[in-house]
A and B are shown apart, each in its own frame.
Chain A
Amino acid sequence: MASASPDSKTGHSRPPDWVPVERRWWGLDRLTLRPALIVVAFALVAHFGVPAIDAALPNDDETSAGDRMLLKKGVSFVAAPGWNIESGIVEGDEPISGSLPRTTVLTSGEVSFTVTVGDFDGDLRGLMEQLEKTTDATNGSDGFHITSDAYGIRSADGEDGLLARYSSIDADGALAVFLHDGTGAQVTSTGPAGTDEDVVEQVAAMILSVEFGEEESA
């Protein structure tokens, strides 16, 4: 495009990228301040403000005795009472869309209990080996790894499973797997060393309460 027409006083054309001195603020073009600051304000609120509001809100969604947590593919388990539901759906309080989560997370103090479901084409031992491979590859040297041989367990529903020690450099836990008709359930529980015996018993009960049922359609 042709350059701007010459200034009537100086007779010279202002180059398109030239910001007149009187339009500058600390060297920046004043005309660009407002749009840029609007964007900065929105981005900072989105990146820091909204998460800060979330962090300030308490999560008081506690499980009650007998609460059954529902997951995808018909998998469920009975939650110990008094645990906090970080994410998950309790039976009887399902979303109207019928969609259920692939992962459920409960916490009790510093102890967390996570169940994840998915398809798996193989046997129970293969699922445990796959998880060993995945956790070794994704958790880094300081993260959680399977640190013992797996031994057999049986759920209250009669489902065979495997359980192994699952620990990091500063925390301990257990990893259990169950497999039923191509659907796998991975259960991990982690917490600080010396966790209360009652909590450990609750974790054990929750692991053994895992059940495979029919997946309900939406």
Chain B
Amino acid sequence: MITSSSTDLAALDQERRAAITENGWGARFTFFQPRNLAFWVWLVFVIWGTWHNLLSTIAASYYAPAIGLAFVVFTVYGAVFWWFTQHIDRYSSQPALLRVMAFLWGGFAATFAIAAPANDALLSIYAKLFGQPFAMDWGPALAAPFTEEWGKGLGILLLIALAPGVMRTAYDGFVAGAFLGLGFQILEDVLYVAQSAPTQFGANQIGASLGTFGVRMASGIGSHILFSAIFCTGLVYAIGLPSQPRRLGRGIGLIVLAMVLHGVWDGQSAIVASLFSGGAAIAMIIVLMCCLPLIGVAIVVRVFGMAVAGERASIRPILAPEVASGVLTQAEVDAAAGDHKARRRYRKDGHGPGHRHRNRHVLEAVFDLAHELGRSGGDSDDRVEFARAEVLRLRQADDPARQG
């Protein structure tokens, strides 16, 4: 017998399935796609870039202690950024394999097959056309935003062609862009260390590169990861996707913004020197070095908020049947679909010992349930049932901290 409530549930279930497909929740991804030209292009350029990297590493094998240390240090450093980027990807998370592919494109194809030869040539062209001083002052700022941002950013086109079911929204561009930038950042850091290791004629190579380690780790916060996240969000807006209406103006604006941020970062000494002199110039360089990453972070947080809005909204239809059937409360769905303030409000809500801890666990379990529903396409299988049971268990727990 069909009742009004079962009809409502059926309608909600339909909306849930549509939201899952539209936003790519739980969409699967296959690495080997022989009929997909993007797959072959990705493979050829990553192998090509890796080959170039290998050749330069072998040629610089005398500096193995410094390069080896750089690989270890920047792998750990990259792992922290990887964890952070994965942590903020609460919604229709991209498959790990796709993130690895983004990282490898940024790290090997964009660096060694695209940006490095183009950068060298552009710097030489600027020197020939405008003189050596101009090339030293403005060359990096007028080369890298074009070669590096587009080299990394075009990786997004390949990822969209490789995983059209996953890459659905500007938010997917943001996250994949961050991983493209992370790959570029880590391999560029290692390259910079390799370049600074010979600066004492080959002696004391680790000591000679310590400054580079410090500068690259400090500047990495506001560098390639951030630029690429903004650039790729813009690129997705500019081209539009089935679930992401085309916003050409916004897209071009974000692309230009990422390029300008990169250009200002690379040309900060020349910019300051052309406006200030003496002690004021030194002070301004220090101010700019501190402020630019902060400005970049403020911008990327804003872009994240813009891109994530659709993803957050998609949580509601996915979890609406759970509210209707009494598995979840509206407050829990509101928190899951809200921003960090909404999540914090939810965590604080309530009384008694350990309520914040409990609420945090419940919210995590709500996200688990959303991901399981995405994976199953909205069907109720064993994992979905278990995720529902977990929400109930954690909600009833008095003090999860004491329960281990």
* Chain A interfacial positions (CB closer than 8 Å to B): 1-3, 16-17, 19, 24, 27-29, 31-33, 35-40, 42-43, 46-48, 50-51, 53-54, 57-59, 61, 85, 87-90, 93-99, 101-102, 116, 118-122, 127, 130-131, 133-134, 137-138, 184, 186, 217-218
Contacts and interface: CB of A to CB of B under 8 A. Distances in A.
B121 A28 contact: no
Contacts of A97: 136-137, 269-270, 272-273
A42 B156 CA distance: 13
Interface in B321-374: 374
Contact of B122 (A17, A50, A133): A50
Interface string B150-178: 11001101101100010000000000000
A194 to B, nearest CB: 30
Contact of B203 (A19, A35, A89, A120): A120
Nearest to B281: A218
Given A93-B133, A218-B281, A218-B282, A186 B201 contact: yes
B276 to A, nearest CB: 11
B377 A1 contact: yes
Given A2-B377, A35-B38, A137 B62 contact: yes
Given A35-B158, A38-B157, A120-B201, A53 B125 contact: yes
A198 to B, nearest CB: 26
B270 A17 contact: no
B131 interface: yes
B117 interface: yes
A57 B125 contact: yes
Most interface-central of A39, A101, A120 (chain B CB within 10 A): A39
Interface string B1-44: 00000000000000001001100011110100111111111000
A72 to B, nearest CB: 10
Contacts of B287: none
Nearest to A55: B121
Given A43-B109, A96-B274, A121 B200 contact: yes
7 contacts: A3-B377, A29-B37, A36-B38, A43-B154, A46-B151, A47-B114, A97-B137
B133 A54 contact: no
B379 interface: yes
Contacts of B154: 38-39, 42-43
Contacts of B136: 89, 95, 97, 99, 101
Given A28-B35, A51-B120, A39 B157 contact: yes
A122 B30 CA distance: 57
